[in-house]
Chain A
């Protein structure tokens, strides 16, 4: 039995459940939006089952289950204090239970979390052997203006939360108030985008051409992409060293043919890429989850 854990309005999880079921895989889905209002019991340290009672049915997680999880904490969106607390407790308890579970968990909590602190993540990427464009993180308007004034520059979220990447110039930081910061800037690499999904040793690539700074915000052309062997080996090795079985890697491919790493996402929203790849990413995921390695 394969288990999927997450929220029912997460398009990526919805896609995984649909794709795995279409392949004839026996799968059960724990919807956290229902679980949070039900009963749950998550014992740690003794290899005991986790149990849930929700929507009139009982649900059991066994420590050796194969689990695909996307733990999304909705506590910040709850108005009611008691509901906020239940969300926090459920996500904390589940993350702890999944970290010590003995089965295959994609991705097991406790892995590297530096994607949530971009300057740290980029330092890790450089150390892992990737080309990373120069960056500056600051609340100092003069430093930000100098960086943006010395070449094409994009601004991103420091915390790596979903926010569009946008072009900035020296003018963007005229009268900049430090309380508006910090801001994370990166030298813009012009070229095509490459997305690689790594599942253990499988690598699925896609090449994206778009006139926009952030291809997710505009029309784009997509094509399957086979990465060079050296790059594929590097992303496989780095994914493993981060403690991940599944990661979504973003690159820019410049006109000289150099790959510039933007980030490695530990909880990739992969559904759109998978649809275009005719379900190849989901098949790799399911194969890895059910392989019992």
Chain B
């Protein structure tokens, strides 16, 4: 095994990465979180910790939990996640993205405002709400709302009140620029000249402050290219997000993981 890819079978980026590693004559092993955790033995002694095998690791998002799992299944899944978290944090081998003592996704949080605060970026407002009679946008600004199933849309009227929401203000009719970060490299997805906003440098700084080697930082840009806002930080870049720069990103991924 030359590299361990911890991923769901449906993960397209993991599949593309593993195929390229294989094409280069190396052996990738792709496993889900539970099976991956069971590969590792972690020894803790007076002089420190040792993780075996010391294999490079690409961590991808977990498989969505199956509903109705028994208590024993939930317990074992928790034990596996904890073991994988510790193994990836303590191993001497390269890991993307290496967990930290703050969390499995380093300092990234599901809350945009908290993530921005931790990244030392200017945090924009964010609203978590649940109102049985429906919640209306807080002010006249355009807002994007995410429902409890993770579906995002423009927030134009009171929600029906059938679930909790998370919302953030946006720019009117905004466009998007994505910056793929793979420390120390960055790639913009579009060719639009936004150099005065220094999006690549800012994206690199944000990812570094969050402890993320590999991330996609999405910026909202107004129609006149007169202002930008930090829209989103993804700690698990998706294939469709990185595809336009894959030919440059892939060799850098392989170099980072030394595989």
Contact = CB atoms under 8 A, between A and B. Distances in A.
Interface of A: 39-46, 76, 81-82, 85-86, 88-90, 92-97, 99-100, 110, 112-114, 116-120, 122-124, 126, 131-132, 134-140, 143, 157-161, 178-179, 181-182, 184
B23 interface: no
Contact of B110 (A92, A97, A100, A117): A92
B48 interface: yes
Contact of B78 (A41, A135, A159): A159
Contacts of A100: 113-114, 117, 123
Interface centre among B42, B44, B75, B138 (most CB of A within 10 A): B44
B63 interface: no
Q: Interface residues of B toward A: which range?
A: 35 or more
Nearest to A119: B86
Nearest to B74: A76
A286 to B, nearest CB: 28
Contact of B164 (A86, A139, A182): A86
Interface in B70-106: 74-75, 78-83, 85-87, 89-90, 101-103
Contacts of B149: 85
Interface of B: 37-46, 48-49, 67, 74-75, 78-83, 85-87, 89-90, 101-103, 109-111, 113-114, 117-118, 123-133, 135, 138, 148-149, 162-166
Contact of A45 (B37, B81, B125, B132): B125
A137 B91 CA distance: 13
Nearest to A116: B82
A85 B163 contact: yes
B114 A42 contact: no
B128 A93 contact: yes
A123 B91 CA distance: 12
Contacts of B130: 39-40, 86, 89-90
Contacts of B81: 159
Given A39-B132, A113-B101, A158-B82, A99 B42 contact: no
8 contacts: A41-B135, A96-B113, A120-B86, A122-B44, A135-B43, A137-B42, A139-B39, A182-B40
